[in-house]
Amino acid sequence: MMDETTGNSRKRQAVDRLAALAAVARERWRRFWRLASRYMPKRLYARSLIIVIAPMILLQSVIAFVFMERHWQTVTQRLSMAVVRDISAIIDLVETYPPGNNYAEVIRIAQERLSLKADILPPDPLPPPGPKPFFSILDTTLSSEITAQINRPFWIDTVGNSNVVEIRVQLEGKVLRVFARRSQAYASNTHIFLLWMVGTSLVLLIIAILFLRNQIRPIQQLAEAAESFGKGRPTPADFRPRGAEEVRRAGAAFLLMRERIERQIEQRTAMLAGVSHDLRTILTRFKLQLALIGSRSDVDAMERDIDDMQSMLEGYLAFARSEAAEDTGPFNLEDMVAKLKEEADLRGIELDISVGGNPDVTVRPTAFARLVSNLVGNAFRYAGRVSVRITHAQRSITIVIDDDGPGIPADKREEVFKPFYRLDEARNQDAGGTGLGLSIARDIARSHGGDIRLEGSPLGGLRAIVRLPA
């Protein structure tokens, strides 16, 4: 019983160790992918090229390794074996001849029959071993074959003359020197295979680059068209669904979606224009009837109510028209700054305003002016000191508005963007207002492809940050 309990305990411990190792492996794998994704290119074109190039390089590397390891080394070994066998035959002939012979016949046979240049040298010591080449497949293979077949002191030089290999073998009372062509002992045509491999890889890579560029261009055009629509700009004139079937379907769906949105906006704007016309007609009648009644205190109160109703009506229509298709055009920020300074002087507000970068921007002029005037006017209404910083960078327009007013609680800074939302004691609480100023401002910012964020201001009040793509 104790043995069974001990065995179960060991099994559980082994399972726990395996689970711990698996958890460590998974965590390391996640870290590896997080690190790899950090350095991976972000664009689809670059990632597609990696998908094509990486397997190609891996395949070429495997083929080159197999070729170098098997074919090239085997051929070199067999060629070196044949050369060493011929040198062994020359040594046998030299040792067969009686001493004192000049070995001219042996030298002739070696040169004419074996394509080897042989010489008999005095019995001087062999030269010291020279430096080994970095890539020494011929040196290693030839040395091992001489050791195996001849088994005598030798010296070889495979580095000096690139086309000739020199071999010296120590014999009794003499030294045999043999010059052989490198191609006789070495597979010298390997570079042709490597050149073909690299050349075909480059050709395939060029074809892949051209093909991928043509396939990705429709996706880039679709992204540009969607970005233009998000910024309130017209669709590029040359845009049409093209490319692969899936990309064509996405482009056609985008065009249909844009048509539906524009049609809905037009219908909404037309309906509100008709409603506004009818309501304005009724308000005009009210004003005429009150004018005929004469000047009385209750008439003055009714006229103020009518003015408030007309102001609210204009606010509702401005909010409804904020998504209308106003064409983009040039807008000068310095002209807007001058108007804001005049308004601040009239209100007695301390205004610090500056423009950084190019003052000319491309936006929906009327909508952009309303966006800035709503935010700055909201600051003028509740603060005595206002700071406005406008920065036009290469790809963005940033507007930062700070004031020293009462501010808005952090948990209400998103709520105030809702239409008709009003705080009990807040900045958008205005007896003559409609609660649509911030809603209209955010609506305009988002129609330009940007947004508005509210934060606490260093001046003690509220900070409004507007970021729009340039």
Q: What is the pTM of this model?
A: 0.49
- Give 12-57 pLDDT, tens digit per residue: 777 778 888 888 888 888 887 777 777 777 777 777 888 888 888 8
Structure tokens at 229: 């629509």
Indicate the average pLDDT of the chain: 80
What DSSP character marks residue 237?
A: T
Domain ranges of the chain: 8-40, 69-188, 329-469
Q: What is the pLDDT of residue 433?
A: 53
Residues 259-263 have a mean pLDDT of 82
Task: Write down the CATH number for the domain with range 69-188.
Answer: 3.30.450
Q: What is the pLDDT of residue 432?
A: 47
Check if the beta carbon of residue 123 is closer than 8 Å to that of residue 130: no
C-alpha triplet 74, 76, 79: angle, nearest 5°? 110
- Give 318-339 pLDDT, tens digit per residue: 656 554 556 778 899 998 999 9
> Distances from the Cα of 205 to the Cαs of 41, 193, 208, 243, in angstroms?
18, 18, 5, 21
Going 170 to 171 to 173 to 179, the CA torsion angle's sign is negative
Which H or E run contains 154? strand 154-157
**How many other C-beta atoms lie within 10 A of the C-beta of residue 326?**
17
What's the CA gap between 58 and 304, in Å, rounded?
81
Which H or E run contains 467? strand 462-469
Spatial CB neighbours of 151, under 8 Å, sequence gap ≥ 6: none
Could you tell me whether strands 350-357 and 385-392 are parallel, antiparallel, or unpaired per DSSP bridges? parallel
- Give 393-415 pLDDT, tens digit per residue: 888 899 999 999 888 888 888 88
- Give 208-218 pLDDT, tens digit per residue: 888 888 888 88
Question: For residue 235, which of 364, 360, 322, 327 has the smallest C-alpha distance?
Answer: 327
- With 90 as the cut, is the pLDDT of residue 388 above it? yes
Model confidence at 466, pLDDT cuts 50, 70, 90, reads very high
One-letter identity of residue 353: I
Q: Which CATH class is domain 329-469?
A: alpha beta
Q: Within a 13 Å sphere around the CA of 202, how many CA atoms are in the beta-carbon half?
A: 6
Model confidence at 6, pLDDT cuts 50, 70, 90, reads low
Q: Cα 107 to the chain's mean position, in Å?
A: 69
Q: What is the pLDDT of residue 4?
A: 59
Residues 278-296 have a mean pLDDT of 74
- Give 122-149 pLDDT, tens digit per residue: 888 888 877 776 556 778 888 888 888 9
Q: What is the pLDDT of residue 357?
A: 87
